[in-house]
Each structure stands twice: as structure tokens, then as C-alpha cells.
């Protein structure tokens, strides 16, 4: 399929691209090949198409268990600037006004 030059110019303008004449020729050829391929794919008829995914499918779930023990957490939190009772302490970032 041949893409008209004004269409290529329009696409370039919408995309904020500065294309050389050689780039425009290459883009027109590539877009034409893509459209031709899509037309070829659309020409195939699929008898009795089946859904590739059903809502009845289930996903196996892993047990909901902690990944690390408290001992490992305490060891990791030794590197934190401030931690207390297994939580990281961070400075306030939102100032509150007292009126």
C-alpha cells in the first residue's frame, strides 16, 4: 500500500518530528508494509474461534506466610538511621499548623 506524502507530513507534524526526504520515503514504505501485513492477517477467517482465556480459570496461590523472620528484620534494621519496634522512623514531611 502506498502512503501519500501529505499523510506522512501530517504524521510527522503530529509527532513533532523533523524528517528528511529520505526518512519520509522510508517511513512511507514501512507504514505501507505494516498496513499490507495487517490486511493479510485480516483476510484469514478463523472457524469457530474459541476464547483464549476464561473467567473460570484460577491462579494457584502460595500460602500467606512472612518471608523473613523477626530476627532477620532486626538485623536489617540495624542499618536504618532510626527504627523502633520493627518500624522505620522517618522525619515529618508535612508541617501542621497549630491555630
Domain boundaries of the chain, sorted by first residue:
5-43
85 Rama sector, left if φ>0, alpha if ψ -120 to 50, beta otherwise:
left
Q: Where are the beta strands (DSSP E) in 1-99?
A: 83-84, 87-88
Residue 4 to residue 34: CA distance in whole angstroms: 15
Report the predicted TM-score, pTM, of the whole model to 2 decimal places: 0.46
pLDDT classification of 54: cutoffs 50, 70, 90? low
Residue 10 to residue 3: CA distance in whole angstroms: 11
pLDDT one-digit tens code per residue, 21-41: 999 999 999 999 999 999 999
16 Rama sector, left if φ>0, alpha if ψ -120 to 50, beta otherwise:
left
| CB-CB contact of 4 with 11 (8 Å) | no
The CATH T-level fold of domain 5-43 is: Histone, subunit A (1.10.20)
Amino acid at each position: 500500500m502506498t502512503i501519500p506524502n501529505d499523510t506522512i507530513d501530517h504524521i510527522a507534524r503530529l509527532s513533532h518530528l523533523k524528517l528528511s526526504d529520505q526518512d519520509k520515503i522510508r517511513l512511507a514504505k514501512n507504514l505501507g508494509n505494516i498496513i499490507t501485513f495487517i490486511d493479510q492477517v485480516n483476510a484469514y477467517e478463523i472457524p469457530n474461534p474459541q476464547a483464549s482465556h476464561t473467567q473460570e480459570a484460577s491462579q494457584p496461590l502460595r500460602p500467606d506466610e512472612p518471608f523473613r523472620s523477626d530476627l532477620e528484620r532486626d538485623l536489617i534494621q540495624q542499618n536504618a538511621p532510626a527504627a523502633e519496634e520493627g518500624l522505620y522512623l522517618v522525619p515529618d514531611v508535612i508541617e501542621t499548623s497549630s491555630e
